[in-house]
Chains A and B, each alone.
Chain A
Amino acid sequence: MAEYYSDRSKYDVVIGLEVHVEMSTKTKIFCGCSTAFGAEPNTQTCPVCTGMPGVLPVLNEQVVQNAIAAGLATNCEITQNCKFDRKNYFYPDLPKAFQTSQLYLPICRNGWVEINGDNGKKKVRIHQIHMEEDAGKLSHHDNTGETFIDYNRCGVPLMEIVSEPDMTSATEACAYMEALAAIMSYLGVSDCKLEEGSMRGDINVSIKPKGSSVLGTRTETKNLNSFKAITRAIEWEIDRQIDLLENGEKVVQETRRWDDEKGIGYTMRSKENAHDYRYFPEPDLAPMHISDEWIAEVKAKIPELPQQKQARYLNEWQLSEYDAGMIVRSKALALFCEETVALCNEPKEVVNFLMGDGLRLLNENCLDAKDMPFAPKQLSDLVSLVVKGSINKTTAKAVFEKIFRENIDPIEYVKANNLEMVSDEEELVQMVADVIAANPKSVADYKGGKKAALGFLVGQIMRATKGRANAARVNELIREMLQD
């Protein structure tokens, strides 16, 4: 159990999340400009996304399709007659001075996702998912006092996924974000990279006396872009609110900002100073009708989702819940795993390689599972060598690393380097006899009851064979011979 700064035993924590997911469509939501990340500033713009006078939006149908898929995958109802609204506010990153968004009829409503909560599995309800456009990016130059605007991100399609206040801790909030990220990337609607800003969260936090049914006053902390920041901001905000109540003060409804470097939250604006966005229906886009056929078409294309995969791995492969959960976190990893298992039919061995050395090596080399530098066939060949007893575990580990780093063929490599396990009985018996003869002191120790001496003797043989001897058989042979 974690230790907290404040005494939490008297309070219940209530958390809701608004998650912004940047869609990975090729073009922007209302024009044909590219959405690619990292281009030179203002090179992916046109009169439409820079809000020149007289321009009109044309909705990218792929955006609607993605939103429908996201809604279906999170058990939402699809709003078949939906429309866009304008959210009006002034800011230099918003060239039209309004964001085309959805307020009155969002495309998806009333869904849920399942997470591993603090007390087991739980459903986090989704209030709504709506489509909207992203704003540009400002960069401030401290030394000159100048601010530059890059409109490349302007008009990149976003989904805002609004949860109900169903989470009770930072861990649950992160689990929910991770579940969403996994679903969205499985669907291919977003890569959900927090570090590139393609997924960001606003957290709504309130506390109430334990067991009370009356919700406390909530605060909203905006634009958190890492799991670490989300966790710290939530913990900090819970502590702050408990402090206020414990000191007889009140929590004020407000919008807050989190400074992750300093680890401090700030008031951004109070409710009184909240923006009046003056929403009204977007007159430049006709209301949409989403037909039953279209929904059915999108539904048919939804791939097996992480939770379904996890359940299948538990059932078909008898993996542990933890292992299955780790594998399905990344769609690419899960698919790689499935392809390998299809070749060798040894799920546990495959998963052991991928989750152990596989994930470690990917991390060390800053690679994503989709960039796995070798093919499933290579891993399945390696697993087969292990299962057949052709090589032992130590050798297998080394060969796996070779596969990863040098893309070698494991079968050829083992053969060429003479790495096959020594299981020949005669050869082993001779080796055991030699080692017993050469180490009278250890033999005496073993016979005198020091069982650890056995390990030393086995180790001598393994060293002599460069790890290739069948360790289990060597073990047995030594015992047999020393019992006489």
Chain B
Amino acid sequence: MSILELSVKELRKKITNKEISVPEVVKAQLAHIEKTNPLYNAYHDINKNALLRAETVQKEIEAGTLDSAFAGVPVAVKDNICTTEMTTTCGSKMLTGFHSPYNATVVKRLQKAGAVIMGKANMDEFAMGSTSETCYYGAVKNPWNPEHVSGGSSGGSAVAVASYGAFASLGSDTGGSIRQPAAYCNMTGVKPTYGSVSRFGLVAYGSSLDQIGPIAHNIEDAAAMLAIISGYDDQDSTSLKQGPFDFNDCLKEDLEGKKIGIPVNYLGEGIDPEIKAAIYEAAKKLSELGAECEEFILPMVDYAVPAYYIIASAEASSNLSRFDGIKYGYHPKKFTDLEDLYLTARSEGFGMEVKRRIMLGTFALSSGYYDAYYQKALKVKALIKQAFDGAFAKYDTILSPVAPTVAPKLGESLNNLLQMYLSDIYTVSVNLAGIPAVSLPCGFNKENLPIGMQFLGQALSEKTLVQLAYAYQSITEHHHKKPQLEVL
């Protein structure tokens, strides 16, 4: 087995035992990325200083000044998270070649922990999309079958890890953007409670919904990464005043007394029967671990997707206004006056999906429509939160599919946008309610494409969710299964 296929925990053991040095790992990692990236397109920009950084980290480890769960571990960072090294393009022509003047809080925390950032991971343009096909720099391809999409918007982050181009990665989740690509690529991803991870330095899409979270091969690695990046940040006013998560005492295989609710209305019309079967199979496994599974009806489900698209698009229409062709990013060569500069820069700099959502959001906030759309969507948001509160009064977690299908073929989704939006049905409510969710592998379909499931919990119940995922992964093998990589 290649060293690159180790888990973070296993790699750390080898580094600590001096079986391998950080520069050796990073060298191997760079060589592997060089071979796989042209095929899967996980990375947009690869860190030229990675090796230099590896040497520094190695020295610090040897000097005994650095000891963390990620010291010397190669990671990938989604391209909407600001870094001073490498570009931050958000998968958009608008930000081609853009260098951020500062590092995001999560990047600073990863660096402090000794992680080596290998590169910036491709994504749907400004995180708008469910397939990573709206990326200006080409679609990200699924390592389980490169004719299929990686999922999105954090497709590059999921594929970087799934194709062994990094040991773990950071993604961002506004409506499922960590969990769904994780599910499509057989990864474990966490969408943390809103406010538990700083958004400072995350290029905003839907500010009230965005959260940064980890993607890794298993929950233990993902939780370790989350522990590093979480905790209060005085540069983010929506950040919760609490310390970082500590998952050390919840890596237990016992689920005795845990109550799991399965929303039957998530498993009705429109879901792939193989996914439905996989979810029930998982429920059985969880019962074997001592959990008590029960079906129930989760209200408000039908309203989640429309409410999500209105709120996210409304906020996006405002957040993306700063890309005006003046201060940074794409600047058209020819324009006649100020208004023409705005029009040309934004017409040429943004892709179709981004323009569509900006228009949708602008409309939803327009005078005369605000109450009917944005205001109403906020009310729906509150009701969805209430529906979850009701469920969590009875259950420790909700077990749900991540997506109604496995990874579709490239090109299929963008030809049926409404279908693509509707496929977010199981993920967006979590963001609207601000609650955490863990997405993890629970099987494969007949074509050997991964199937994912997710645990949803009430706000700040990350430890419970990690425990559930850990227990499940301790008795299942799905997450150990490896794709047959095509390598140049």
Contact = CB atoms under 8 A, between A and B. Distances in A.
Given A280-B370, A286-B238, A54 B203 contact: yes
A229 B327 CA distance: 34
B203 A88 contact: no
Interface stretch (A93-101, A200-208, A231-239, A325-333): A93-101
Interface string B88-121: 1010000100101110100000000000000000
Nearest to B363: A278
B374 A92 contact: no
Contacts of B206: 283
A448 interface: no
B154 to A, nearest CB: 16
A88 B201 contact: no
B322 interface: yes
Nearest to B378: A281
Contacts of A58: 234-237
Contacts of B327: 50-51, 95
B95 to A, nearest CB: 7
A177 to B, nearest CB: 30
A450 B80 CA distance: 98
Contacts of B374: 280
B366 interface: yes
Nearest to B362: A278
B200 interface: yes
Secondary structure at chain A's binding surface: helix, strand, loop or mixed?
Answer: loop
A57 interface: yes
Given A90-B321, A278-B318, A56 B235 contact: yes
Interface string A66-99: 0000000000000000000010101010011110
Interface in A86-140: 86, 88, 90, 92, 95-98
B102 A52 contact: yes
A58 B236 CA distance: 7
Given A53-B95, A56-B235, A96-B321, A283 B200 contact: no
B31 to A, nearest CB: 31
B102 A47 contact: yes
B207 interface: yes
Secondary structure at chain B's binding surface: helix, strand, loop or mixed?
Answer: loop
A96 B315 CA distance: 13
B324 interface: yes
A484 interface: no
Of listed A55, A57, A59, A98, residue having the most chain B CB within 10 A? A55
Nearest to B126: A53
Interface string B212-247: 000000000000000000000011111000000000
Contacts of B200: 54-56
B311 to A, nearest CB: 9
Contacts of B236: 56, 58
A102 to B, nearest CB: 15
Taking residues whose C-beta sits less than 8 angstroms from the other chain, chain B's interface range is 35 or more
Given A53-B82, A280-B365, A280-B370, A88 B101 contact: no
A95 B327 CA distance: 8
Contacts of A53: 82, 88, 90, 95, 98, 100, 203, 322-323, 328
A450 B419 CA distance: 112
Contacts of A57: 237
B237 A92 contact: no
Interface string B296-322: 000000000000000000110110011
B368 to A, nearest CB: 9
A464 interface: no
B326 interface: yes
Contacts of B204: 54, 284
A381 B132 CA distance: 83
A253 to B, nearest CB: 15
A88 B315 CA distance: 11
B199 interface: yes
A480 interface: no
Contacts of B237: 56-59, 284-286
Contacts of B201: 54-55
Contacts of B234: 58
A88 B318 contact: yes
B442 interface: no
A122 to B, nearest CB: 35
A53 B321 CA distance: 11
Contact of B199 (A56, A59, A86, A278): A56
Given A57-B237, A59-B237, A285-B237, A51 B322 contact: yes
Given A52-B101, A280-B374, A92 B338 contact: yes
A426 interface: no
A276 interface: yes
Contact of A92 (B80, B317, B321, B326): B326
7 contacts: A50-B327, A52-B100, A56-B237, A88-B365, A279-B370, A283-B238, A285-B237
**7 nearest CB pairs, A to B:** A97-B321, A278-B365, A283-B207, A283-B208, A53-B203, A54-B82, A54-B201
Given A51-B322, A56-B199, A276-B366, 4 more contacts: A52-B102, A52-B328, A280-B314, A283-B238
